[in-house]
Structure 1
Amino acid sequence: MKKKKEVTIYDLAKELKYSPSTISRALNNHKSISQKATKEIQKVAKELGYRPNSIAASLRNNKSKTIGIMIARINRPFIASLISGVEEAARKAGHNVIISQSNDKYENEINNAKALYDSRICGLIVSLGMETKDTGHFKQFVDQNIPIVFVDRVPDAFNSYRVIIDNYAAGYRATRHLIDEGCKRIAHFAGAQHLNVYNLRKKGYLDALREHNFEIDEDLIIDLNTMSFEEGEEATYKLLDMENPPDGLFSSNDTAAVSAILTARKKGVKVPDELAVIGFNDDPIASIVEPALSTVSHPAMKMGEICTQRILEHSSKNLDTNISEITMLDTEIIVRNSSKKKKLETILEAE
């Protein structure tokens, strides 16, 4: 089937006997065009199937109303909520969103950055992939004064907006919770340590142990490359097969934590009385697994909204991209049955 010809402003001008400039102004609701003419032009444009060429407009203005998002994996609940926050705030401001995912691959992230740059986006929101250590591919945006907001997984040495949580405090509080529940040997699933989120959560874990005079056992700390379900399963088998296995586990995400609960069940290890578990993110699966997973809340949607606000503010004020600003949001421990050792002990004593 032959492709139908695209209707242009010049086609509308010929049809309506107006100049192309008048058509353009009317389609953009310009005040210089009467309401009667504007309604007539917009009505005919709709009937003929006219579509505004946003790419052409961005080429003329060297600026678009499109915000780019670069994330690692779109199928993670935290990322899905983050994107929802970005899209909702962008839509209210009359902006569009382009989403790209790297699947945690550095080369994919470089290619995605180029594609978004070539799309003439007005701002970029980035959560770094697991493999990313060099951030040189973001320099092209800075050079063109396109604002970048890094969120959650952020680089240490890059002047930009950053929207984060206090990962150190969250890691400390999660570990302290397990200590308060009576755990004596606490394991940790740590992610890639060059990424701030996992590095700081691990530091919080270690400091909580030290402050309560726990011996640091490196065999209880397992770095997971992708924090996947499969990696969590393998790591849990390794921990539970130890001669002196842990009685508590703090996982840096919920996916690996849920995997630990299910793997413990396969091994005949009872959660929480033999292994108390706490995760991170408060993914939907945390409240579905049995026992329900204790976790750390992660205000993903709010973070997405703030990222968009920073880009819109930057564009409206025409600020310099060489800026360093950190927005840090609070988290909280959500206690569920997977870590309630004390409650269980109280019930047993009563019986």
Structure 2
Amino acid sequence: MKYITIKDIAKKLNTSVSTVSRAFNDKSDISAKTKELVLKTAKEMGYRQNRMAKNLVQKRTYNIGIVVPEFVNSFFPEVIMGAQEVLFKKGYQVLITQSNECYTTELKNVQSLENSMVDGLLISLSSETDNIDYYQDLVNSGFPIIFFNRTYKEIKASKVLFNDYKWAMFATEHLIRQGYKNIYHLQGIKSLTLSKERRRGFVDAHKKHKLTYDKSQVITSGFHMEDGEKIAAQLIENNTIPDAIFAANDQLAMGAMSVFKKHGFKVPKDIAFVGFSESKMGSMVEPPLSSVKQPTFEIGKQAAKLLLDQIEAGTKHTPQTVKLDGELHIRESSLKK
């Protein structure tokens, strides 16, 4: 079987090799009619572009690495879908890895993607990540990298974040306006920027409404359902029962809610719950969980756009932070009858 080259296409069309090349590379100095004819002829002749050769010339692999903490919930898959929509349109493929909330695994994933010569990286840090030196070195080296959702304020890189402070405040205010006074906050990993911002929103809502607040009402934990279960069991054992709980994510809220229900507490009559991140499971539990919805698909799109901008800008890149808004979906878990 003969391998078709651009020279064969040029000969067939009685045109120059440079014209065919410009058509394939979508250059502006070629008419739409000529480009259409070249592409149509190439397809008819069975031409297949040598992607490896093109990548070598352009010094790109057209691969992007994505590292996320987990796939258990719909949040990160939806972010990836948003990123893929943008990247695929620009001819990029994605290599997806998960850290399983483990810093060591996360670092291995990042290094593996680097060794695969990806053109850039989208990453959301694991709950165990407390050393950002490697990432700061990566940023300082000029490697294109965008952090989304979970990151550290100290990392001087482009980021796509959610307005955690604003919506944590709204969620807490909802509970306060329902008449709940003794409200606890399950914070998640306190070192992460999103955890700090959600805690700040919780505290400031109390200040705004002149509601007494004690540091013991904020409990640090992980982000898993099991963490919520352990906290609830401890509160029950200590006979420290809040009026309501605002959790840093739905998994914490659902874990705590399940334990309180098993011990005979009625939701929301005895204790109310509000989560964060709007998981599909949260709307299916009984009673359905109130939660803050984040624009997951848009987070992925914005992260991908920032990454492509950084790849194109090269050394002229200036770090940017994009902050997105969401919605508070109020359901039975936090509504007083």
TM-score, structure 2 length as denominator? 0.85
2:261 aligned partner: 265
CA apart distance, 1:158: 2.1
Amino-acid identity (%) = 28
Equivalent position SS for 1:316: helix
Aligned AA (1:316): E
What CA deviation, in whole Å up to 9, does each residue of 1:87-140 have, x standing for no partner? 111122222211111112111122111122222222221111112122233356
CA apart distance, 1:35: 7.3
The RMSD of aligned alpha carbons is 3.1
Work out the CA distance in 1 between the residues paired with 2:134 and 2:55: 22
Q: After alignment, is 282-291 or 201-210 more displaced?
A: 201-210
Counterpart of 1:308 (choices 304, 308, 311) is 304
Question: Residues 201-240 of structure 1 correspond to what in structure 2 (within 5 A)?
Answer: 201-211=198-208, 212-218=210-216, 220-225=217-222, 227-240=223-236
CA apart distance, 1:224: 1.6
Work out the CA distance in 1 between the residues paired with 2:56 and 2:140: 17
Question: Residues 49-128 of structure 1 correspond to what in structure 2 (within 5 A)?
Answer: 52-54=50-52, 57-128=54-125
**Structure 2 residue 328 is the aligned partner of structure 1 residue 328:** no
| C-alpha contact (below 8 Å) 1:62/1:120 kept by paired residues | no
Unaligned stretches of 5+ residues in structure 2: none
Aligned AA (2:238): M
Work out the CA distance in 1 between the residues paired with 2:137 and 2:186: 35
| C-alpha contact (below 8 Å) 2:185/2:246 kept by paired residues | yes
Question: Residues 134-213 of structure 1 correspond to what in structure 2 (within 5 A)?
Answer: 134-139=131-136, 141-142=138-139, 145-211=142-208, 212-213=210-211
Aligned length: 326
1:339 aligned partner: 334
Aligned AA (1:213): L
Work out the CA distance in 2 between the residues paired with 1:17 and 1:96: 27
Work out the CA distance in 2 between the residues paired with 1:309 and 1:268: 49
Q: 1:221 to 1:17 in 2, by over 3 A?
A: closer
Equivalent position SS for 2:276: coil
Work out the CA distance in 1 between the residues paired with 2:9 and 2:163: 61
| C-alpha contact (below 8 Å) 1:71/1:100 kept by paired residues | yes
| C-alpha contact (below 8 Å) 2:9/2:41 kept by paired residues | no
| C-alpha contact (below 8 Å) 1:72/1:104 kept by paired residues | yes
| C-alpha contact (below 8 Å) 1:209/1:216 kept by paired residues | no
Aligned AA (1:214): T
CA apart distance, 1:213: 2.9
1:250 aligned partner: 246
Unaligned stretches of 5+ residues in structure 1: 1-6, 345-351
CA apart distance, 1:307: 0.9
Work out the CA distance in 1 between the residues paired with 2:252 and 2:185: 11
Aligned AA (1:332): E
1:3 aligned partner: none
Work out the CA distance in 2 between the residues paired with 1:244 and 1:232: 15
| C-alpha contact (below 8 Å) 1:113/1:137 kept by paired residues | no
Aligned AA (1:188): H
Work out the CA distance in 1 between the residues paired with 2:146 and 2:283: 31
Work out the CA distance in 2 between the residues paired with 1:110 and 1:266: 39
